[in-house]
């Protein structure tokens, strides 16, 4: 049985958070660590791995974008959960053209509600909404 994309995004967030706390871990090592010690299914699915690898490869671009979009907040000063939800959301908005922008934003807001602080979901929503309005990608669903 395959996992839902929501669960895959949650797994990706956990792996990205793990990497954020231990920068010595490569993306591959973090996925393996997650599978061995935290995952109920013991296997990260292809969507999870794509998100983790994609965010890892585009990290500098994503953090620069976060810095531009989040007024008065540098990524390194944000809560690690919020920072990684934004990275994940911005990766999907910019590089996953099979996922509508509204779906990405909604999924990231839901992750923020579950794992972030009280006002994280509103912050995430605002930043990702700004990002989606600034995209000029005709092949991306709204």
Q: How far apart are CA 67 and CA 102, in angstroms?
A: 22
Helix (H) or strand (E) holding 12: helix 5-21
* pLDDT at position 1: 37
Using an 8 Å Cβ cutoff, are 18 and 25 in contact? yes
Q: Is the pLDDT of residue 69 over 70?
A: yes
Share of the chain above pLDDT 90, in %: 70
Walk me through the domains of the chain, giving residue ranges and CATH numbers.
5-134 (1.10.940.10)
* Six token digits for residue 46: 């292809």
């Amino acid at each position: 049985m395959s996992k839902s994309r929501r669960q895959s995004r949650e797994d990706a967030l956990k792996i990205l958070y793990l990497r954020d706390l231990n920068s010595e871990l490569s993306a591959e090592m973090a996925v393996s660590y997650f599978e061995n010690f935290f995952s109920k299914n013991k296997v990260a699915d292809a969507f999870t791995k794509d998100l983790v690898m994609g965010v890892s490869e585009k990290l500098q671009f994503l953090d620069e974008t976060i810095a531009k979009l989040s007024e008065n907040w540098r990524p390194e000063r944000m809560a690690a959960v919020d920072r990684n939800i934004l990275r994940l959301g911005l990766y999907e908005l910019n590089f996953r053209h099979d996922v509508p922008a509204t779906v990405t934003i909604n999924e990231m807001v839901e992750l923020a509600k579950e794992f972030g602080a009280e006002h994280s979901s509103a912050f995430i929503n605002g930043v990702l909404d700004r990002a989606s309005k600034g995209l000029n990608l005709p092949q991306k669903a709204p």
